[in-house]
């Protein structure tokens, strides 16, 4: 009987051998932890559809960020949930608004040793739940929305954000924000652009957490159509051309093909958002005893890295970081 000279199994025999030839690494430094802070609550509020996640007070936010940072995670994405909402979402750029107060608190605590990224959108702040200003017919007005986005960007930069994350999928949003930040003296504040954000079914739990479900209609008119990969690459290239420092594909798991293609074609810093619905699926399966949570989470996060993500936004960040360093 003739055997092949090369036997891949030789390199799979022990954990040390497998680690020696491992092609894709996953470490806490690759993770970004999304956090929610809510105005006007006396204590943290559990998010029922995202077990283990909370709407934080300012004080509990500080403690959570410090705990996650102690596990080696160096970046955070912050979402604010205001008490007061209005038609144009004015609390989003209020210097005393909840997101800006939270940024200042975290910047005081963490300084420049960690990266604070501020989600830049209007859906958490508008009374109608859409990501922009509405025209008389109830459609999102792209250019009127950009005028608000630049105000938000400057307010977030003034509050201490190292990066802003425009997530509304308005045409020209990155260019407008870059120009406004530069004009205000914030040339060093970066932009992590939600460049290919799809109109996905996997955002449901987030809408509970951020209290931002649309009061009418949906967001398919401005978020991307799930079947379109070529369009996603065009959107990503456009954001790069407009001055983005990192581009993002969202969600992660249903769009790993887009992520891989974007990385191969652009070689640009790439993030992927392991979104709330993806988190909730694994949590539900683990709580029912159907999956080994640790193994499943690390396998999922590794798959996102393998597909081309330099950075992974994930609600698993705290637990994953602990497992990776245990």
Nearest to 114, CA basis, from 152, 161, 52, 153:
161
Q: Give 54's DSSP letter.
A: E
Question: Does the CA dihedral 299-280-261-257 come out positive or negative?
Answer: positive
Q: How many residues does the chain have?
A: 326
CA–CA separation, 111 vs 47, rounded Å? 28
CA–CA separation, 231 vs 227, rounded Å? 9
Q: Which residues does residue 314 pair with via DSSP β-bridges, in sequence order?
A: 274
Active site residue 63: no
Specify the residue for token string 């006007």: 40
Q: What is the fold, at CATH topology level, of the domain defined by 24-325?
A: TIM Barrel (3.20.20)
Burial pattern 289-304, b for ≥16 Cβ within 10 A else e, equals: eebebeebbbebbbbb
Q: Is residue 172 helix, strand or coil?
A: coil
Q: Give 132's DSSP letter.
A: S
Q: In 18-157, where do the E strands start and end?
A: 31-38, 45-46, 54-56, 75-81, 115-120
The catalytic position among 38, 85, 250, 263 is 250
pLDDT tens, per residue, the chain with 326 residues: 666 677 788 899 999 999 999 999 999 999 999 999 999 999 999 999 999 999 999 999 999 999 999 999 999 999 999 999 999 999 999 999 999 999 999 999 999 999 999 999 999 999 998 999 999 998 999 999 999 999 999 999 999 999 999 999 999 999 999 999 999 999 999 999 999 999 999 999 999 898 888 888 788 889 999 999 999 999 999 999 999 999 999 999 999 999 999 999 999 999 999 999 999 999 999 999 999 999 999 999 999 999 999 999 999 999 999 999 98
pTM: 0.95
Q: Which residues contact 32 (CB under 8 A, 6 or more apart)?
A: 73, 75, 76, 77, 115, 117, 271, 311, 312, 313, 314, 317
The catalytic position among 38, 63, 85, 197 is 197
Active site residue 250: yes
Q: Which residues contact 288 (CB under 8 A, 6 or more apart)?
A: none
């Amino acid at each position: 009987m003739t055997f092949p000279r090369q036997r891949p199994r030789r390199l799979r025999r022990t954990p040390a051998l497998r680690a020696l030839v491992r092609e894709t690494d996953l470490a806490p430094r690759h993770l970004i932890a999304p956090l929610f802070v809510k105005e006007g609550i006396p204590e943290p509020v559990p998010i029922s559809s995202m077990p283990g996640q909370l709407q934080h007070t300012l004080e509990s936010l500080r403690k959570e960020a410090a705990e996650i940072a102690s596990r080696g995670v160096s970046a955070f994405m912050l979402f604010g949930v205001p008490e007061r909402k209005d038609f144009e979402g004015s609390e989003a750029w209020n210097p005393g608004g909840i997101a800006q107060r939270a940024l200042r608190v975290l910047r005081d605590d963490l300084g420049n040793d960690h990266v604070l990224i501020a989600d830049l959108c209007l859906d958490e702040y508008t009374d109608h739940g859409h990501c922009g200003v509405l025209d008389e017919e109830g459609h999102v007005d792209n250019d009127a929305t950009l005028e608000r986005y630049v105000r938000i960007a400057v307010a977030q930069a003034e509050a201490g954000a190292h990066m802003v994350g425009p997530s509304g999928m308005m045409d020209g949003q990155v260019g407008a924000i870059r120009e406004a930040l530069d004009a205000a003296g914030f040339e060093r504040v970066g932009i992590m652009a939600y460049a290919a954000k799809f109109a996905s079914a996997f955002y449901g739990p987030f809408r509970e957490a951020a209290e931002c479900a649309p009061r009418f209609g949906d967001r398919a008119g401005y978020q991307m159509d799930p079947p379109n990969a070529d369009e996603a690459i065009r959107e990503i290239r456009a954001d790069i051309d407009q001055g983005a420092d990192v581009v993002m594909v969202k969600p992660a798991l249903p769009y790993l093909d887009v992520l891989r293609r974007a990385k191969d074609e652009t070689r640009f810093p790439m993030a992927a958002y392991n979104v709330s619905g993806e988190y909730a699926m694994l949590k539900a399966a683990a709580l029912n005893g159907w999956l080994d949570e640790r193994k499943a989470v690390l396998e999922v996060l590794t798959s996102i890295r393998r597909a081309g993500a330099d950075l992974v936004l994930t609600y698993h960040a705290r637990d994953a970081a602990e497992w990776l360093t245990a």
